Copies of this chain bind each other. A is one copy, B any other.
Amino acid sequence: MKVIADLAIVPLGVGLSLSPYVAACERVLVEAGLEPQLHANGTNVEGDWDQVFAALKRCHEALHQMGAPRVSTNLRCGTRTDRDQSLDDKVRSVEEKL
Using a CB–CB cutoff of 8 Å, the interface residues on chain A facing chain B are 1, 3-6, 8, 10, 12-13, 15-16, 18-20, 22-23, 26-27, 37-42, 44, 49-50, 53, 57, 60-61, 64, 69-82, 87-88, 90-91, 93-98
Most buried by B among A26, A40, A82, A88: A40
A73 to B: closest C-beta gap in Å: 5
Choice from B38, B40, B60, B91 contacting A6 with Cβ under 8 Å? B40
CB pair A97–B23 under 8 Å, yes or no, is: yes
- What 10 new A-B contacts, CB under 8 Å, besides A10-B10, A38-B91? A1-B57, A1-B60, A1-B61, A16-B70, A37-B39, A38-B94, A41-B76, A64-B79, A72-B78, A74-B76
A21 to B: closest C-beta gap in Å: 9
